[in-house]
Structure 1
Amino acid sequence: MVSVIVPCYNQASYLEEALASVLRQEYQEWECIIVNDGSTDATATISKKWIKKDKRFKYLEQENSGVVAARNNGIKQAVGDYVLPLDADDKIGKEYLAKALGRFKNNEKLKLVYCEGEYFGELEKKWDLPEFTLQELATRNIIFNCAMFKKIDWERIGGYDANCTKGLEDWEFWIHLLKDGGEVYKIPKVCFYYRQVGNSRNVSITLQQYKEIYEYLSLKHTAFFVEHLGSFKFLYEKLKKLERQNTRLEKQIKANNNTLTMKRILKLLIRRIK
């Protein structure tokens, strides 16, 4: 069985579209756990409607604690051997569960399966994802959060890091999951659709926040970064470059009314530190 985990914080207007994409799956042995992270909108009402519609939908409530806690709490309750996180404003193609699970069944060394992605909403285009390598993963996050992994591996590494409250929790999770070995497979088909709107969860992150996250990950996974990027001196110099860019990029963020997306920030950063 696959457990689809859907954290939701005040995204009731998008939630039904996400849940409908789960209901349309060709693979039928799934459960979908909706985790209401203290929403003040119609999330509870919509969720309860869906659990009446199909018993495979389940519903949890928690005080507002953030997406990391919501995902972890949902996965704790999951009965499936495989887990697929899905944000409440995104959606998946009908073949995703079947194709991902099929890869796991054919390869016991596999730890992670994801797919081609596509933007929709305010921006509609193919998501240009680089080919996976550990070196590329050490440079930046190259896998979106909606990727399938085994629950036993989530348990082994202690779940999503509760310290990653400012973002990039999925990057930390992929590093932790893969740094000691295991294979990754990307399905050569678009099965994930990432909504682009002004209030998307990843829309607003300051350079200072990004620097703090990167510094935390560098310290937690030092051996991984050293192995794949070179030396700790390399990491130190990379952080210093981030600091030197702080003033100018912060001004750019303010000039754009704080609507510079994390994707655009990361592009600027990568361009300057490569």
Structure 2
Amino acid sequence: MERLPKIGLPIIIGIIILVIILAKSTVTIDSGHAGVLYETLGDGVDPEKGPMGPGFHLVAPWNRVIDYETRQQEMPEKMSVLSSNGLDIKLDASVLYEPEYANLGKLHNQKGLEYSSRVLQPAIRSAARSVVGRYTPEQLYSSKRDAIQDEILEETKKIVEPQYIQINDILIRDVTLPPTIKQAIERKLKQEQESLEYEFRLVTAEKEAQKVRIEAQGKADANRILSASLTDKILQDKGVDATMKLAESPNAKVIVIGSGDSGLPIILGNN
């Protein structure tokens, strides 16, 4: 077996070391992520230095890059809180959040990669307890859910945004009440709905009755005006006109003049 030249072995070793150094010096960051550079021979992470964006990067082999996801993320959270009257309420919510891109270095130095469990989770629980404690179970179950959701969002923002975390939204998917309280609220809501329907029927009936009264009053007024305007002379003239038209009919046979009431003619005999 032919031996390698003495100078060949150091070259091979050098190439291997070079490959290792290059492998340690290259970093590829995916889309939706950013890197925080940790300088081993320096002071760690420089909070004033901007993050490394997606793409290919060269770094010193003794340094390392800490990867952060910068896209919007969802953290589901189930909480048990107390209402204003001390009843146990369970909330099923989701928090939509992302780290502040420009402040990733500060976030890493203060909270680290586990910032969601160290900051976000305690913050939303604290905000939920504070907000829900101002409402009754009935308000939580029905009319105030959207307002409560908005209030929890604002309370959470006050806590986490100074700590370099951006809250985009908080969604309350479900509110679970004690079964007896839920049934009582549903009965009350049903009774209120039935009462509103009954009141609507009463109002509708009253409007219909009012319409009939107005129409009847209009007819009565019209008849009264007509009666006041019809004198005996006018009635006689109208009777004469009607008699003349009947006399012209081929079916009229006998006309008795002056035999009717008020001296109006009477027509006798029809085919």
TM-score normalised according to structure 1 size: 0.20
State which structure, 1 or 2, has the greater radius of gyration over its C-alpha atoms.
2
TM-score between the two structures when normalised by the length of structure 2: 0.20
Which is richer in helix? 2
